[in-house]
Amino acid sequence: MSRPAVFFDRDGTLSREVGYVNHITRFEPFPFAVDAIRAVNAGNRLVVIVTNQAGVARGYFPESLIADVNGVLKSRAESSGAKIDGIYYCPHHPSAGVPPYRQDCDCRKPRPGMLHRAAQDLGIDLSRSWVVGDRLGDLELAWNVGARACLVKTGYGMGEIQYWMADWKRQPDLIAENALDAALQIIESH
Ligand SMILES: [Mg+2]
Ligand SMILES: [Zn+2]
């Protein structure tokens, strides 16, 4: 039987938004990131991270750095008894760089490729799942697969709320202070 998941955006949601993370020293996980992951584990939902990393296509950093950075998050989680069930990234950009990274792919958020792959790999029921992120593209990703969308106030979130949200065609299903608040609310009441 397929299970619901909580898909977390990475930069701005589980870690500080610093622009392109072009070196491992620029990656700063939020102190609550591991607690957010653990809360979702305890709520019997899968934890999946989905991140656009167009800096690869743009030539700002090698694709191998993504795995290194994600490894930091993974080992932090594991050393605290939290489990990340899957991590997916899109290294592409539709117009920057050279092929194969320059391509009009199906996985760059808000396109749903990463969620479809995760659903297939891990047996996820997308209709009962959530995407938690700090930008409109994360919310649209959720809506594109029939999942629900939570906007967090970290990263770009406050700017989205203050300057742009009133103009959005659809409003977030939930607004949370941060990823941990999001996880707790999703687990408790949805
Ligand atoms: Mg983000
Ligand atoms: Zn892609």
Q: Reduced to 3 states, what is the DSSP secondary structure of residue 43?
A: coil
Average pLDDT of the residues in 125-152:
98
Domain count, the chain: 1
Per-residue model confidence as pLDDT tens digits over 7-62: 999 999 999 999 999 999 999 999 999 999 999 999 999 999 999 999 999 999 99
State in Å: Cα 148 to ligand 2 middle.
22
State in Å: Cα 133 to ligand 2 middle.
18
| CATH code assigned at 63 | 3.40.50.1000
Nearest by Cα to 36 from 25, 44, 28, 47 = 47
Per-residue model confidence as pLDDT tens digits over 72-103: 999 999 999 999 999 999 999 999 999 999 99
Q: Which ligand is nearest to the CA of 136?
A: 1
Structural domain that includes position 50: 5-189
Active site residue 125: no
pTM higher than the cut 0.95 = yes
Q: Which ligand is nearest to the CA of 8?
A: 1
State in Å: Cα 13 to ligand 1 middle.
6
Instruction: Give the span between the Cα atoms of 134 and 158, in whole angstroms.
Output: 8
What lies within 8 Å, CB to CB, of 96 at 6+ separation is: 54, 57, 58, 59, 102
Q: Reduced to 3 states, what is the DSSP secondary structure of residue 104?
A: coil
Per-residue model confidence as pLDDT tens digits over 52-64: 999 999 999 999 9
Per-residue model confidence as pLDDT tens digits over 148-168: 999 999 999 999 999 999 999
